[in-house]
Amino acid sequence: MAARRRLLVTGASGLLGGNVALALCRDWEVVGTYAAHPFSLAGTVSRRLDIRSDGEVAALFADIRPEVTVHCAAETRVDACEARPDEAFAVNARAPGRLARAARAAGSLFVHVSTDAVYAPGGAPHAESAPTGPVNAYAASKLAGEEAVAEAGGECLIVRTNLFGWSGRAKRSLAEWALARLEAGGEPLTGFTDAVFSPLLASDLARAIEALVRAGARGVYNAGAADAVSKYAFLRLLCREFGYPEDLVRPGRSGQTLAARRPGDTSLDSSRAAALIGTSFFPPVAEAVRRLKKLRDAGVPGLLAGSLGRGPATSGPGGDA
């Protein structure tokens, strides 16, 4: 039997990193890093890493020499980035460049997970060739991270995406936050009608990234759902699938409650990736929501929460509504 290839996953205690580690640990030798939330997932190795430290990054790559690195660690709280842009750029811009340089020195393919928010408003769905134009500090820091990765000069794959799913973290994804609110009862949810996106389920995105790597993809690829919905419609889909009345979601606009400006329609044209690896990785949003429920019924939220030594997530919305 051939030896498994070694895969380094940064941010393995987060939403995407945890799902990448869980999805790929059977076929890859997975080493996952964390900053503040230690994790323990069967079939993986856990290492603490401060991605802002040149010394720690260099030492880790010299030690494990991964064949592929998937960089998932990021500061994704948009309003927090707006309030503290220096911290956002340290994590989302300078750290990816540092990691990409270390990956190049180790001979590792570097996969950088970016965001649909880097595109300029208008012209959606956005193809990879569409103009970029960040409207807030979060998006600007992520675009600067892409540029730093490209400037590092090694083999790289940049994936622009938006996602939801089960994380097991206290900082929850939009879907987890909404479902927790619905389960608890109380005030209706507000869903933004002016925020349109094409999110992937985190576990589907993990498999899409693996497929792109195996297919030899390099450069920039979009990875989004086959269609697009508003955040309002997304929350109503959650209600429908999980058995809650849809009228528990009321319409609203993002500018009414959020500090940082949002770009509006960030939906993605993922036809380039679909042509390379197939359309099954990019289902419609309604199908992804159905898969989210199947994962819950299969016990995945508890598995991810258990890997972090905690019960199910209980506080803090991790995404915009």
Residue 316 pLDDT class (50, 70, 90 cuts) = very low
Q: How far apart are CA 51 and CA 37, in angstroms?
A: 14
Give me the pLDDT at residue 187, please.
83
Per-residue pLDDT band for 318 (boundaries 50, 70, 90) equals very low
- Residue 1 reports pLDDT greater than 60: no
Considering only CA atoms, which of 197, 210, 212, 125 is closest in space to residue 163?
A: 197
Please report, for the chain, the start and end positions of each structural domain, with discontinuous segments joined by +.
5-307
Superfamily of domain 5-307: NAD(P)-binding Rossmann-like Domain (3.40.50.720)
Residue 271 has a pLDDT of: 99
Residue 235 CB partners (closer than 8 Å, separation 6+)? 178, 189, 191, 249, 321
Burial group, residue 157, by CB count within 10 angstroms (0-12, 13-18, 19+): buried
Q: Are 40 and 46 in contact (CB under 8 A)?
A: yes
* Sequence-separated (6 or more) residues with CB below 8 Å from residue 112: 71, 96, 100, 145, 146, 149, 156, 157, 158, 159
* pTM score of the predicted model: 0.94
Q: Examine the residue annotation and report whether 119 is marked as an active-site residue of this protein.
A: no
Structure tokens at 129: 């060739």
As a whole number, the mean pLDDT across the chain is: 93
Please compute the mean of the pLDDT values over residues 8-26 and round it to a whole number: 96
pLDDT in tens, 228-252: 999 999 999 999 999 999 999 999 9
Mean pLDDT of 27-37: 95
The pLDDT value given to residue 314: 35
Higher pLDDT, 230 or 310: 230
Active-site annotation holder among 34, 119, 138, 232? 138
pLDDT at position 256 is 73
pLDDT for the residue numbered 169? 67
Whether residue 67 has pLDDT greater than 80: yes
pLDDT at 304 over 80: yes
List Cβ neighbours of 173 (8 Å cut-off, separation of 6 or more). 15, 163, 164, 165, 166, 167, 202, 318, 319
Pick the more confident residue, 311 or 213.
Answer: 213
Per-residue confidence at 315, pLDDT binned at 50, 70, 90? Answer: very low
